[in-house]
A and B are shown apart, each in its own frame.
Chain A
């Protein structure tokens, strides 16, 4: 076997083995991203803090200094207040954090996206949120007892139109 025929055969075999190895590693070995007998709980929503708490009425002097077409009685800060979120699992607080508004001017909604791995089985979930700085306690609260299956993806969302927290 000489010349190019030899290169075609030997080089071809080497290339074949290389590509077979590449093909094998393109789907193996497997990766376990979630421990066995575990479920994933995600608390995720976007919600803008209520700006009305920081609003005030303009004084007569302030109104007089404005052009007639801009004399709105109330003035509100463009920046939204932060929200405070708390999550309890089986009576223990697993997440409690204040979330600032998004955007350069702080005028966007606050964002929450938290992942929590829980053992499969029954759990008592309580989630609370305060979106007004002048509220004592919380503006929204919801409790749910759930039975989580292994590898289940459970989501707590927040939809004001549906009355508050939503469990998926």
Chain B
């Protein structure tokens, strides 16, 4: 098993531990991005509120922070603590988010954009926090200001060393302090812009956590702010050195390193770290299947695939072939990860077709609907006895490994609902198990939601009413839950055996079987060609 697979299983196991406590949908580890946004807004709102009471003068800054923390602890003091603790929590959430996307391999290939645009966010979060600490103008602020400016002065871009502003009590002017306030407003605004850019290449980006999780987080922040209020560390005095300071290890954890290591090493390290992070998506790049392809003869521009694509890779454009429809769809190959969700959403994706080639409106060149039908027929041939279960599995979930009677897909939402109908009505199996990835998080973002809504007949393409719902099983299980998938599938098989065979079967006719065989041959040829 590769290192990444091991890490993925480990992380899945750790996340699974939080499912019983929060519920899969509120699991904080599956909501790190939305939580980051939520914490940003808490920090922004409390920052605006604190600015009402904050005095930007050098002498008055500390006094105003003390006043709001002590005399008005019940509103402004709580706001200050919320401001600090939400910022710290944002760092935790951001670093976990970064590590998680790396482990789940969501940073390479066509998903490089979100990763690369996330790298500056890391630095802007730190810069926002560091400039915030300056404003309190206590001893920690003095330490942070002096250390930061000495580090900046190592860059040969300032004519006058900025650190000279902090040499003596007389050298720091209120005007310079106003500049620091401006920085603490400007940098978070740039951070917000960077966060907005970060989510531009995904559709329906989640920028709000589930209400329950948001309520829990906010309530816990308020309680901690009341019990452990943030405090200052004595007024700054430039005639002395703040020899001992209580550090914020989330935002200022690198400062001891800055104290001990020459500035050139720090800047080189920061630059290398940034370049390595930016370069990770290409080291090595992920081998991805070719992008989805549109077949205009079978596309009426209904836009279901546009609505379902999790990556915003499909757009509706004016019709170009003279057919009597207003629109057609266009795939941006630079964004398409070949998850197949579009194929599952296309009303033309029906495996029942017997006349002509099985071609749909939008198809995957390397794994066409025809090939999928053939794979299903082939997998069904491996099933024997009563209570036969054909499993349609997600490659990133518990059913990701090949097994008899199982078809593994990049996403279960690649399978159109008509495929389940086809499996049952052609007697290929007595029931279908849809084994997606863990309930808390879908590898392809929206695949689980779309699958559930389609089979609940809430989202087009709907599962036909004739399909008996008891013959479909949905199991949402991560890579560390193989045993649960097997147990649930075995239980399902027993239930199917008790139900008996599906009554409305119309067995596969020779034309369909021949078509399947031809598609299987074509698929085998494709694989051989790819191997060359």
Q: Measuring CB to CB, which residues of chain A are less than 8 angstroms from any residue of chain B?
A: 4, 7-8, 10-12, 14-16, 18-20, 22-34, 36, 38-40, 42, 44, 46, 102-103, 108-109, 111, 113, 115, 150-153, 155, 157, 168
Tell me, in angstroms, the Cα distance from A39 to B26 when the chains sit together.
52
A103 touches B245 (CB 8 A): no
Interface mask (B337-379 → A, CB under 8 Å = 1, otherwise 0): 0000000000000000000000000000000000000000000
When distances are taken between beta carbons in the complex, the residues of chain B under 8 Å from A44 are 161, 163-164, 167
A7 and B22 in contact, given A113-B150, A152-B240, A157-B167 (Cβ under 8 angstroms): yes
B159 touches A152 (CB 8 A): no
Known: A18-B220, A23-B88. 18 other contacts (CB 8 A): A11-B22, A11-B23, A12-B216, A14-B18, A15-B217, A15-B220, A16-B220, A25-B250, A26-B84, A26-B85, A26-B249, A27-B247, A31-B246, A33-B242, A102-B156, A113-B153, A152-B241, A153-B241
Which residues of B (219-244) have their CB < 8 Å from a CB of A? Answer: 219-221, 223-225, 227-228, 230-231, 233, 238-244
A8 and B156 in contact, given A14-B22, A151-B241 (Cβ under 8 angstroms): no
Tell me, in angstroms, the Cα distance from A44 to B240 when the chains sit together.
16
Contact of B250 among A22, A29, A151 (CB under 8 A): A22
B92 touches A22 (CB 8 A): yes
**Which 4 A-B residue pairings sit nearest by Cβ, starting from the closest?**
A34-B243, A11-B22, A27-B246, A15-B220
B92 touches A31 (CB 8 A): no
Which residues of B (24-61) have their CB < 8 Å from a CB of A? Answer: 26, 28
Tell me, in angstroms, the Cα distance from A168 to B238 when the chains sit together.
11
When distances are taken between beta carbons in the complex, the residues of chain B under 8 Å from A15 are 28, 216-217, 220
B21 touches A33 (CB 8 A): no
A155 touches B245 (CB 8 A): no
When distances are taken between beta carbons in the complex, the residues of chain B under 8 Å from A26 are 84-85, 88, 230, 248-250
The residue in A4, A19, A29, A155 that gathers the most chain B C-beta atoms within 10 A of its C-beta is A19
Tell me, in angstroms, the Cα distance from A31 to B243 when the chains sit together.
8
Contact of B89 among A22, A29, A108, A109 (CB under 8 A): A22
When distances are taken between beta carbons in the complex, the residues of chain A under 8 Å from B217 are 15, 19
The 23 sampled A-B contact pairs (Cβ below 8 Å) are A4-B212, A11-B23, A11-B216, A14-B22, A15-B216, A16-B224, A19-B220, A19-B224, A22-B88, A22-B224, A23-B225, A25-B250, A26-B84, A27-B230, A33-B255, A33-B259, A40-B241, A102-B156, A108-B159, A113-B161, A113-B164, A115-B150, A151-B242
A157 shortest CB reach to chain B, Å: 7
- Look across to chain B and name the residue whose beta carbon is closest to the beta carbon of A28: B246
Tell me, in angstroms, the Cα distance from A70 to B283 when the chains sit together.
61
Contact of B244 among A22, A25, A31, A39 (CB under 8 A): A31
A103 touches B220 (CB 8 A): no
B269 within 8 A of A: no
Tell me, in angstroms, the Cα distance from A33 to B249 when the chains sit together.
14
The residue in A27, A29, A32 that gathers the most chain B C-beta atoms within 10 A of its C-beta is A27
Contact of A42 among B18, B167, B220, B245 (CB under 8 A): B167
Q: Is the interface of A mostly helix, strand, loop or mixed?
A: mixed
When distances are taken between beta carbons in the complex, the residues of chain A under 8 Å from B242 are 33, 151
When distances are taken between beta carbons in the complex, the residues of chain B under 8 Å from A38 are 243
B256 within 8 A of A: yes
- Look across to chain B and name the residue whose beta carbon is closest to the beta carbon of A33: B259
A153 touches B239 (CB 8 A): yes
Contact of A155 among B167, B219, B225, B233 (CB under 8 A): B167
- Look across to chain A and name the residue whose beta carbon is closest to the beta carbon of B246: A27
Contact of A10 among B21, B92, B215, B259 (CB under 8 A): B21
When distances are taken between beta carbons in the complex, the residues of chain A under 8 Å from B221 are 19
A24 and B243 in contact, given A7-B26, A19-B221, A31-B255 (Cβ under 8 angstroms): no
